[in-house]
Structure 1
Amino acid sequence: MADKKEEKDESAVAEVAAYDNELEEEETPYPYYVFFILGNEFCERYAYYGMRSILVIFLTYFLGFDKDTATVIYHVFAALCYFFPLIGGIVADSYWGKVNTIIYISFVYFLGMVLMTVSAVPQINSGQDVPGTINTVIALVALFVIAVGTGGIKPCVSALGGDQFAENETGKKQLSSFFALFYGSINAGSLLSTFISPLLRELKCLNRADCYAIAFLIPAVLMLVAIAAFLFGKSQYKEKPVSGNIFTEFCGATWSGLRGKCKAETKDKEHFLDYADQEKFSLKRLTEFKYVYPIIVMYLPMPFFWALFDMQGSRFVLTATQMDGVFGSVTIKPDQMQIMNPILILAFLPLFQSLIYPCFEKIGFSMTPLRKMSGGQLITSLAFVVAGFVQLNVHLTVKSNYWIDANIEVDGESANTLVTEMTMKSIDDYVFTQFTDKEDYNKNVTYFRTPSQDWLQDNYPQADDRKLTLSAVGYPDLVMPIDIHEHTTKGVYCYEKLLNNRKELECKEYNSPNEKSGSNRVKAVLLNPTNSYTLFEIFDYKDDQVSVLTNSTVVISPTEVSTSDGTEFERGVVKVVVKMWDDELKKDADGNYIFVPQIRTCETKWITGSNPTGEDSPVADDYLFGPGSIWTFAAVEDEVDSSSCKIRIIRDSKMNTMNVFWLIPQYVVITVAEVMNSVTGLEFAYTQSPKSMKSVLQSFWLLTTCFGNILDVFFVEISMAPTQSGEYFILAAIMVGAALIFVLLSIFYYEYVPEGTFDENEEEIEGTKNDAFDKTGEALELDDVKVDKEKEALGDKSVAVDF
């Protein structure tokens, strides 16, 4: 009877407990204040990607860095963005807590965005419209501050959101819906900003044809909104007390173990952590730390994946500047092509999880995490093979940039003699070949050019002190030294001029654009080799309307150019008008020119693709001046008619003709690699280690991205190939090597975790919870892994990993 009574009592207690749990489930409200965290995440991601998406273009075309230097700066910045999460996590866990860390570092983040906006105002450089050293210094400081800000809050925001939900079944369901929204806010912010920021930089402001200041100001404002959104919910947030950081403890135990082993007289213990100070580190903790090292070894090849993956924002964008993005009235900006990655990742995640992986399983090929990652790394190399072939075709459609481009114009019978007897050579007797443009738009013009090279890199000159000498038979006074330096392109325009009743060859040396337009526009150097003050006006015909393309307030001084980087305008059917004055024009109180009747004037006809010499009436959509082309417009005085002048138009580079959508295949392949690598990497790690080690693994995962961007800096600095296509192919080969190493590591990797060691219900050690992951082990750092993955249950017994 007693036994039956005890069984009845236990049954009653169980029923009461079940009822209490059910009641608790029903009374678990949704923490509405997490929407403040979602708003914060959306605005912060917009701010970050809005700035980063145009960063390489800004460094190259506004601040004037060459493409290699711009690439280096971009990847140093990216590396810092993935280093500072370590610092942010330590500060949050050990000192300030998550809420205060997010608030304090967000203000630092906002300061960086403000500095970036200021750096895009050219007038801070002595009031000029051209940026200078001050702009460059402020921009570099701003990038460092932004890296501190975005990295510092990265490990805190998602984890704080996860902390707001109850640990019961209802809370887990609510948590799942929250992170679906969290993931959506990340992608919405990045998608919108990657599309909008390139459009904003195209606006005209501050007396320039671009407006990077507005493009950076909007992200700065959104960052301020992000802070405000977060502060609205501050009083409602639940936060665990500060109790130490597991990553610092792991590093301390590692150091203690290594030092202990070095000092030990007998080294008979199995693992070096067995020599650690066990008064400072518990045996349980040291045992958990041991499971981390095999996974760190598996992470060793991962930086090579991130090195190639992050080139989407640098080299891929620079390749896009050499391609045609014009579709009717719509122009795709080179930096807008980055939007392909978030779009494709949204499409590929469900496709792989629900279709591709199950198909492999059905044919008997188990898609283990290690197999996914191995395949993903091999596919990464394929993406760069595709990129290399695309770049090769770009080379075929784009005439190369030249270190020296001499345009020699003479009138009359002496032209042929001059062409055959003019020489240009360097101090080391490197003789330049003459070049004849089959589509020449001027009579009696001879071109001297260096051998055709590549847009991004060039082998000549090898030193900064190279000099060229231009001379011609019949013109004894013309022995013209030309200084050329690395990362510059020199132009020389020579024309006959009557001096003291004798024809002389007058030459003007100038800096020519070293890069194509970053906006699929036309570039033109407006050259004034005369002693007059000259105004160029370029008129465009489009949609039955005639408009002025150039800034009519810029008058070029004698023997000067408009700007070394060229005047940019949209493709079109154009007419060039030149006005000249002998005396300098005066300005009014507002700094505007007071125009007086010009002494000389001349103009071209409407220049079309089918008739470069010009039509009397404009012809719609018949373009000679296409996107990406570079031209020199020179104006010289007419020796016969003193009231007139002559306009010479010289093409320095062909227009972009290869469609920018040819970049889509390499974006598709690299995104497939991301799904298989990035999404799977953490899933593998967390099934092979204790829950308390999630923070350590997240830290090392972020470090692989940091080291990957450091590798990018190294690859660029050593100049692996003279052409961009060559660099792509070499990177593909390097990635194959890294993938094969990963495959070998996978084959020999051994899962030695005893059954039940990492049971799902294992209690977490207070103060060691990873800020980037929730209580159930789901990855919450969605900005990096792009997906929430449920942990796969461990097998019933210890087995070797089925690679």
Structure 2
Amino acid sequence: MGKKLCGTNYPLSIAFIVVNEFCERFSYYGMRAVLTLYFVNYLHWDRDLSTAIYHAFTSLCYFTPVLGALIADSWLGKFKTIIYLSIVYVIGHVVKSVGAIPTVGDTSMHIALSMVGLILIAFGTGGIKPCVAAFGGDQFEPEQVVETRKFFSIFYMAINAGSVLSMIVTPILRGDVKCFGDDCYALAFGVPAVLMVAALVVFISGSGMYKKVPPEGNILMDVCKCIGFAIKNRFRSSKHDVKRKHWLDWAEEKYSKRLIQEIKMVLRVLTLYLPLPMFWALFDQQGSRWTLQATRMNMAMGEGFTLKPDQMQMLNALLILIFVPIFDFIIYPLVGLCRVNITPLRKMACGMIFAAIAFGLAAFVEINVVKSVVEPAGPGESLVQVYNLMEGDLSLSLPVPASDPLKMPISSFQDPQEYKTLHLVEHSSNLTILVHSPGSVHPTEITQSYTEQRAYSLILYPVASGNGMEHDLVEDNIEKDPGGNAFLRFISTLPENTSVYLTDVPINVQANYIMSPIQNLTRNRYPSVKCEAPTGVFSNLDLGLLDFGASYTFILKKEGENIVAARFEDVMANNVNIAWQIPQYVLITVGEVMFSVTGLEFSYSQAPANMKSVLQAGWLLTVAFGNVIVLIVAEGGGLEQWAEFVLFACLLVAVCIIFSIMAYFYTYVDPSQLDKLYQQDAAKGESEDELKMTEKMTKL
């Protein structure tokens, strides 16, 4: 017996394993929390490609555990596998962090480093996933059943504690710390890299205390070989061979009846796994589609607290810690008192329904979120809004569809309120807008070139001499900032250049109605902004609240001795609060408790003890294939986001119906009867072998 934890019967070595798991889960979930926004904001990929790569990475993380299990059980053993693949893991984090440094190469270099880093991380985290928990279990003696069970509870708590903490901290490092003039993704990826180094150091530190079980061969390989031999033998057989009750019985010539019987039991469970990837297709979109939805929402939780869009993911891990004991000790017992027979498979089906409802709510939220988004111009169309900076009101005649009014009034220094659609004859066309001035007999014709699928602002302003009207056409950005920041720009009516100090670096605004470049600014109130002109310094510019996702244009004017800013809102602020995502997170977590936790317990109870690793591999593969489904839909669907959410919800309901039918015909196996069944099969197999041997001896 090795050293014990102070005052307990637990081996001291498990402390190193638990701390290692906490650091590793912090490392993985912290990196993954900011990954989608990294793709969108830093690499400037579109939402669909970012979602696809995110789920391709997640899928790879759940394919590689099969490889890790093979290496550990057949070659290196769990301890060496954890060490070597953790080194690969650390290298992946370092490469990923370096790829997020703007000064390191160009965009292609950043993409290459990011992809290499993610592949190494996927092999690292996936490879050690099936090893760490099992290695912890190896530290206990066979009679320490209670201690082993409590260890796995502590281990599970360490996983969730690491994930919750990381999904709070890394978005703060990304958004609140600025490096190279922008969000600090290098730091957000660098801290998880440091935590993975700490995980490796802690694990190696306990090396002298571990009980290291040597590799004994991989049961998964035996299962695959047995199945392959049965299939091959079946197709090689002639019509005159004895018929077998089950296709696996064709492996009896080479493999024991016990192994064949165990594989039959496992295959019954694995057959039930076939519909399960659809649940994970919905569940893992918390880090992709739901995070992207959050970027277009109002993230203020009261006046003094603001969430980051990638911090909402921590709600799932936090709710899991709350819901698991509530379901185990309150909800399930109450359902039992109502004499409702809620079997494990029924719980899993209910979990699917809750996940589908969560996506229905996500679709409802999305429909309201997009109301604040300017719908982009389609092929053969262009968008335009008009600023009237003249002293009097005007009316416009736009070449717009017949359903819109022919003449549109536009007040002096008033917000244009909305973009109008222009229909183009070609990819780029010259169109004429007629401007009607009060008291003028003939309208002013303004002809400009417009390009399809772009948005413009047409600025009307007086000639410097005081008579007549000038105009300027400026291309607009109507997309919201992926990080939830506000965009703003300035037009000055002053005859001299002006400097506006929103930060330490001034924004230079040119004189005589020249539009300044667009600036990106953190959401905040700006009640007193320094404005400096050659004639003096004015510190009373009140820009008000620059809200999440909005785009503003401020017109600088002279009023008395002061400069004031007239405020125009080009793109509406995000007016749906991020709190509206809480119900969908609650429902998806309820679904996870009923589906995932119950599914693992059911799987383990329905299979032999030496087949647990096979079922674990099968379960992880359902997660991998679920992410492949999202990858396919994201790249090939082409649906609006709310419609995509509805599609996933409907698909899961359909899969739930199929799963429920399969569950109806499933016969549960009593775990306490498994060993007795094996003994009977083994005795039967030995009797048959003895009979065959007797027949051979008789012939001799």
Same fold (TM over 0.5): yes
1:107 to 87, 92, 96: 87
The verdict on how the C-alpha distance between 1:138 and 1:513 changes in structure 2, with shifts beyond 3 A counting, is farther
* 1:136 maps onto 2:111 in alignment: yes
CA contact (8 A) 2:418 2:570 kept: no
1:698 to 616, 619, 627: 616
* 1:569 maps onto 2:539 in alignment: no
The equivalent residue for 2:449 is 480
Tell me how far 1:468 sits from its aligned partner.
5.8
User: What residue identity is the alignment partner of 1:515?
Assistant: K
The equivalent residue for 1:713 is 631
Following the alignment from structure 2 to structure 1, what is the Cα–Cα distance between the partners of residues 349 and 198?
42
Measured against aligned partners, the alpha-carbon deviations of 1:571-603 in whole angstroms (never above 9, x if no partner) come to 213456667xxxxxxxxxxxxxxxxxx779997
CA contact (8 A) 1:415 1:444 kept: no
* 1:537 maps onto 2:501 in alignment: yes
The equivalent residue for 2:269 is 295
Tell me how far 1:184 sits from its aligned partner.
2.0
CA contact (8 A) 1:470 1:481 kept: yes
Following the alignment from structure 1 to structure 2, what is the Cα–Cα distance between the partners of residues 261 and 436?
80
The equivalent residue for 2:173 is 200
Tell me how far 1:59 sits from its aligned partner.
1.8
* 1:422 maps onto 2:395 in alignment: no
* 1:217 maps onto 2:186 in alignment: no
The equivalent residue for 2:317 is 342
CA contact (8 A) 1:121 1:206 kept: no
Aligned residues: 655
Following the alignment from structure 2 to structure 1, what is the Cα–Cα distance between the partners of residues 210 and 409?
70
Q: What RMSD, in angstroms, separates the aligned Cα atoms of the two structures? A: 3.9
Measured against aligned partners, the alpha-carbon deviations of 1:319-373 in whole angstroms (never above 9, x if no partner) come to 2222222222111222212221122111111111112111222222122111111
CA contact (8 A) 1:434 1:447 kept: no
Following the alignment from structure 1 to structure 2, what is the Cα–Cα distance between the partners of residues 441 and 185?
62
1:97 to 77, 91, 99: 77
Give secondary structure in 1 for the equivalent of 2:181. coil
Tell me how far 1:497 sits from its aligned partner.
7.0
TM-score (norm 1): 0.73
The equivalent residue for 2:296 is 322
User: What residue identity is the alignment partner of 1:607?
Assistant: D
Following the alignment from structure 2 to structure 1, what is the Cα–Cα distance between the partners of residues 140 and 91?
32
1:471 to 415, 432, 447: 432
- Structure 1 residues 229-308: aligned runs within 5 Å: 229-266=202-239, 268-276=243-251, 278-279=253-254, 281-308=255-282
Tell me how far 1:513 sits from its aligned partner.
5.3
Following the alignment from structure 2 to structure 1, what is the Cα–Cα distance between the partners of residues 589 and 648?
17
Unaligned residue ranges in structure 2 (runs of 5+): 2-6, 435-442, 683-700
Give secondary structure in 1 for the equivalent of 2:44. coil
Following the alignment from structure 1 to structure 2, what is the Cα–Cα distance between the partners of residues 435 and 733?
46
Following the alignment from structure 1 to structure 2, what is the Cα–Cα distance between the partners of residues 244 and 529?
80
CA contact (8 A) 2:358 2:587 kept: yes
Measured against aligned partners, the alpha-carbon deviations of 1:65-110 in whole angstroms (never above 9, x if no partner) come to 2222221121111111111111111111112111111111111111
Give secondary structure in 2 for the equivalent of 1:757. helix
User: What residue identity is the alignment partner of 1:746?
Assistant: A
The equivalent residue for 1:801 is none
CA contact (8 A) 2:391 2:412 kept: no
Give secondary structure in 1 for the equivalent of 2:135. helix
The verdict on how the C-alpha distance between 1:57 and 1:444 changes in structure 2, with shifts beyond 3 A counting, is closer
User: What residue identity is the alignment partner of 2:481?
Assistant: K
* 1:749 maps onto 2:684 in alignment: no
CA contact (8 A) 2:102 2:180 kept: no
The verdict on how the C-alpha distance between 1:682 and 1:60 changes in structure 2, with shifts beyond 3 A counting, is same
User: What residue identity is the alignment partner of 1:672?
Assistant: V
Following the alignment from structure 1 to structure 2, what is the Cα–Cα distance between the partners of residues 172 and 700?
26
CA contact (8 A) 1:203 1:209 kept: no
Instruction: Identify which range, 752-761 or 94-103, moves more after superposition.
Output: 752-761
Tell me how far 1:706 sits from its aligned partner.
0.5
The verdict on how the C-alpha distance between 1:633 and 1:179 changes in structure 2, with shifts beyond 3 A counting, is same
The equivalent residue for 2:24 is 44
Following the alignment from structure 2 to structure 1, what is the Cα–Cα distance between the partners of residues 350 and 169?
34
The equivalent residue for 1:651 is 569
The verdict on how the C-alpha distance between 1:468 and 1:675 changes in structure 2, with shifts beyond 3 A counting, is farther
Tell me how far 1:695 sits from its aligned partner.
1.1
User: What residue identity is the alignment partner of 1:471?
Assistant: T
Identical positions, percent: 34
The equivalent residue for 2:131 is 156
* 1:120 maps onto 2:100 in alignment: yes
* 1:408 maps onto 2:386 in alignment: yes
Give secondary structure in 2 for the equivalent of 1:758. helix
Give secondary structure in 2 for the equivalent of 1:471. strand
User: What residue identity is the alignment partner of 2:548?
Assistant: P
Following the alignment from structure 2 to structure 1, what is the Cα–Cα distance between the partners of residues 612 and 261?
15
The equivalent residue for 1:787 is none
1:312 to 283, 286, 289: 286
Following the alignment from structure 2 to structure 1, what is the Cα–Cα distance between the partners of residues 586 and 569?
36
CA contact (8 A) 1:377 1:735 kept: yes
Instruction: Identify which range, 289-298 or 137-146, moves more after superposition.
Output: 137-146
Following the alignment from structure 1 to structure 2, what is the Cα–Cα distance between the partners of residues 532 and 192?
52
1:675 to 593, 597, 617: 593
Tell me how far 1:161 sits from its aligned partner.
0.7
The equivalent residue for 2:690 is none
* 1:631 maps onto 2:552 in alignment: yes
CA contact (8 A) 2:500 2:506 kept: no
Judging by fraction of residues, say which structure has more helix: 2
User: What residue identity is the alignment partner of 2:329?
Assistant: S
- Structure 1 residues 553-632: aligned runs within 5 Å: 562=517, 566-574=519-527, 606-607=541-542, 623-632=544-553
The verdict on how the C-alpha distance between 1:179 and 1:525 changes in structure 2, with shifts beyond 3 A counting, is farther
CA contact (8 A) 2:480 2:549 kept: no
Tell me how far 1:569 sits from its aligned partner.
2.1
The equivalent residue for 1:12 is none
User: What residue identity is the alignment partner of 1:706?
Assistant: A
Give secondary structure in 2 for the equivalent of 1:291. helix
Following the alignment from structure 2 to structure 1, what is the Cα–Cα distance between the partners of residues 225 and 614?
12
The equivalent residue for 2:486 is 522
Measured against aligned partners, the alpha-carbon deviations of 1:436-473 in whole angstroms (never above 9, x if no partner) come to 899x993485853459xxxxxxxx99xxx954654324
Give secondary structure in 1 for the equivalent of 2:394. helix
* 1:82 maps onto 2:58 in alignment: no
2:474 to 495, 508, 515: 508
* 1:226 maps onto 2:147 in alignment: no
The equivalent residue for 1:684 is 602
Tell me how far 1:433 sits from its aligned partner.
8.5
Tell me how far 1:189 sits from its aligned partner.
0.7
Following the alignment from structure 1 to structure 2, what is the Cα–Cα distance between the partners of residues 570 and 350?
39
Measured against aligned partners, the alpha-carbon deviations of 1:522-544 in whole angstroms (never above 9, x if no partner) come to 23256899999985433xxxxxx
The verdict on how the C-alpha distance between 1:434 and 1:37 changes in structure 2, with shifts beyond 3 A counting, is farther
Give secondary structure in 1 for the equivalent of 2:450. strand
Measured against aligned partners, the alpha-carbon deviations of 1:267-312 in whole angstroms (never above 9, x if no partner) come to 7322222223733x33322221121222111111111111111111
The equivalent residue for 1:129 is none
Measured against aligned partners, the alpha-carbon deviations of 1:185-206 in whole angstroms (never above 9, x if no partner) come to 1121111111111111122433
User: What residue identity is the alignment partner of 1:628?
Assistant: G
Instruction: Identify which range, 250-259 or 569-578, moves more after superposition.
Output: 569-578
- Structure 1 residues 703-782: aligned runs within 5 Å: 703-719=621-637, 721-722=639-640, 724-751=641-668, 756-758=673-675
1:66 to 46, 54, 67: 46
Give secondary structure in 2 for the equivalent of 1:572. strand
Give secondary structure in 2 for the equivalent of 1:278. coil
Following the alignment from structure 2 to structure 1, what is the Cα–Cα distance between the partners of residues 478 and 127?
39
CA contact (8 A) 1:602 1:645 kept: no
